[in-house]
Amino acid sequence: MGKKLKGLRVAVLAADGFEQVELTRPVKKLKREGAEVELLSLRPGSIRGMNLLAPGKKVSVDATLREAKAADFDALLLPGGFINPDLLRQSELALEFVRDFERLGRPIAVICHGPWLLASADLVRGRRLTSWPGIRDDIHNAGGIWEDAPVVRDGPWVSSRGPQDLLEFMPAMVSLFAEHLPQPQARARPKEPARGWGRWLAGGLAVAALGYGLRGRKLLGA
């Protein structure tokens, strides 16, 4: 089978304290499907993941939020973790980034504590989603409709509860993102000036030939 997400640009927004498997496994899946993935964060360098409460590995940041625009991407992945989304929702740059995604109508895949950022951006009001059960009240208080399910799809959003749902979350994410593949640009039509140039050249040759003919008649005394 072909790669479902070839040509798709995906932003992954995370900070220190992200749940490691919620970033690394979906990113591997996206890349296997042909997507171009960039990790965005609050600062350059690298950020450290967590395995629940134990420190995990570091991953390299591709760009900071000061360098990136939502319009440059086709889809957004928000991993969870206890610390990561709490840091992001305190950043006005992160809040504006997700608001811009919503304004553009582009898809968002979010898992675990990731919806904290969407709630702080005032985006979950009236939306159906799931999350880590511990922030169910936060979703309710922000006006969202919380559901206890492995995957919840609401328009351009797909959400899951946590690492235990990754096997359901990843194909749902790919399916959603595949619906928003950028359309290939139409081939440019041949430019008309080439035809105009040809007509000008033909006309000029005709005038020159006529002038030469008249000059020849004069020389012959016609």
- Residues with catalytic annotation? 113
Task: Output the furthest CA–CA distance in the chain (Å, rounded).
Answer: 108
Q: Could you give the CA distance from residue 120 to residue 124 in angstroms, rounded to a whole number?
A: 9
Q: Could you give the CA distance from residue 39 to residue 15 in angstroms, rounded to a whole number?
A: 10
Q: Could you give the CA distance from residue 50 to residue 56 in angstroms, rounded to a whole number?
A: 4
Distances (CA, A) of 196 to 193, 201, 205, 217: 5, 9, 14, 32
